């Protein structure tokens, strides 16, 4: 079963526009991570935000985390055609032994040139 739900399921934007996607999860977490996947390939780690952090930036990426609402958002600014991919949030639950990421269903992003 999936921990999180991602919204929207798909997003189509023009190059240069911003893309925002949201993730909701169900249980208390240690941290939340965002990954990108290009067309059936392996996942690329984008950013990790700890449960005691509210916002984090990395280049054109901005992630927010609201643990009271059990939700996170990923903003990609000034999008490029190369940002076309599926984006997944992943959480690991407090109390779980070791690494066990639970992924959301993903948001498919299409950036049109």
Partner 1 sequence: KAGVTQTPRYLIKTRGQQVTLSCSPISGHRSVSWYQQTPGQGLQFLFEYFSETQRNKGNFPGRFSGRQFSNSRSEMNVSTLELGDSALYLCASSLGGAYNEQFFGPGTRLTVL
In this chain, which of 39, 59, 69, 97 binds partner 1, going by CB under 8 A? 97
Q: How many residues bind partner 1 (CB under 8 A)?
A: 28
Write down the residue that tokens 């992630």 correspond to. Answer: 63
Which residues make beta-bridge pairs with 33? 48, 90
Write down the residue that tokens 């990426």 correspond to. Answer: 61
**Whose Cβ is closer to partner 1: residue 29's or residue 111's?**
29
**Whose Cβ is closer to partner 1: residue 41's or residue 69's?**
41
Q: Which of 23, 51, 44 is nearest to 107 (CA)?
A: 23
41 binds partner 1 (CB under 8 A): yes
């Amino acid at each position: 079963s999936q921990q999180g739900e991602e919204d929207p399921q798909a997003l189509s934007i023009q190059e240069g526009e911003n893309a925002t996607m949201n993730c909701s999860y169900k249980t208390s977490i240690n941290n939340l991570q965002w990954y990108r996947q290009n067309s059936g390939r392996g996942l690329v780690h984008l950013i990790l935000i700890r449960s005691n952090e509210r916002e984090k930036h990395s280049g054109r990426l901005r992630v927010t985390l609201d643990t009271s609402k059990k939700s996170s958002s990923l903003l990609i600014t000034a999008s490029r055609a190369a940002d076309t991919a599926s984006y997944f949030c992943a959480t690991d639950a407090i109390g779980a032994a070791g690494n066990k990421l639970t992924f959301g269903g993903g948001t498919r992003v299409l950036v049109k040139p």
